[in-house]
Amino acid sequence: MAPLQSRRLGRTEMRPNAIGLGGAWWGAGSESDTIAGIERAIELDINFLDTYPGPDEERWGKALAGGRREKIYLQGKVSSHVQNSSTSDHTAAATRRSIESSLKGLRTDYLDCVLIHGHDREDDFDPDNPDRRDQVDPLAPGNALDELIKMRDEGLIRHIGIGARQASVIKRAIATGEIEVVLTYLEYSLLTQAAAEDFFPECRQHDVGVILASPLGMGLLTGAEPEESENRRKVPGKEPVAHAMWSWCRERDINIRHLAIQYCMSAPVDGIVLPGPGNKQQVEDAVEAAEADIPPETWRDFKAEFGVGL
């Protein structure tokens, strides 16, 4: 495959390169590891950085100093899934506080995109559901979405998106007419293609850009034996097929990570792929996977065996 090419991210007209940089695992290592990893990513032409609220933003801010901020698209979040957060993270006031804090930590005066994150189920706001996690509907009038629109008008953010898995949540968000980007995870990979039917059509219809996170299935498709993945419980029911794919690739000296990344890069929708590396080596592994040469016959045989491929 050719070196990283730019992709159109829906009607935002942002054109990041095909592989972005997820922030989920950067907090696990040292600050120096984080800075080295992000610097290496930019050297390798990764120019989209996804972040989340919290103290790790200060690390990313340091990594983006010295002119590197101007070389990337920077995405933040407002989320109810933040350590020590209250249930009011999607109110207007909490949304503004969160964005202002992110701008300070990231050492920037604007964010290219902000995702409403943590709204995963439609019954989160059902008063009859005793297990609901968040009583504040971010899409309801006067809450997070409305405040983000104001901040977009003020120039503090440029685009608004949503990060979610459930198709009904994504469709409801798109129907507002304000959502320009969807980040989804574990819904499109070698292990499942649910998103292709569940909400890709709406994204294409409304020209919404798509970010495919977790292309490696929470560790099941990294190349390590799947039964050893700490995250296998997060993708229930997928371990057997992941193990079969791993064994098939191992017998043929094929790197399953290459297949996993490139399959998502070929998704039938405008967007990018967002692996979640946690260090410099994993950044290099992701780029290697994206640029690897995979013979057509490999895809042909893999598809014949598992029913999925290019």
Q: Average per-residue pLDDT in the chain?
A: 88
Band the pLDDT of 201: cuts 50, 70, 90: very high
The secondary structure of 109-177 as a DSSP string is S-BSEEEEES---GGGG-TT-TT-S-SS-TTSTTBHHHHHHHHHHTTSBS-EEEE-S-HHHHHHHHHTS
Q: What whole-number percentage of the chain has pLDDT above 70? A: 87
- 236-281 pLDDT per residue, tens: 677 889 999 999 999 999 999 999 999 999 999 999 999 988 889 9
Asked whether residue 11 is domain-assigned, the answer is no
Longest Cα–Cα distance in the chain: 56
What pLDDT score does 77 carry?
93
Band the pLDDT of 287: cuts 50, 70, 90: very high
Asked whether residue 14 is domain-assigned, the answer is no
Residues in contact with 253: Cβ distance below 8 Å, sequence separation at least 6, in sequence order:
none
Range of the domain at 145: 26-306
pLDDT at 226 over 60: yes
Band the pLDDT of 85: cuts 50, 70, 90: very low
Asked whether residue 1 is domain-assigned, the answer is no
- Give the CATH number for residue 298: 3.20.20.100
Band the pLDDT of 136: cuts 50, 70, 90: confident
In the chain, the amino acid numbered 238 is K
Asked whether residue 165 is domain-assigned, the answer is yes
What pLDDT score does 125 carry?
52
What pLDDT score does 31 carry?
86
Asked whether residue 301 is domain-assigned, the answer is yes
* Tally of domains within the chain: 1
Asked whether residue 18 is domain-assigned, the answer is no
Asked whether residue 163 is domain-assigned, the answer is yes
What pLDDT score does 158 carry?
97
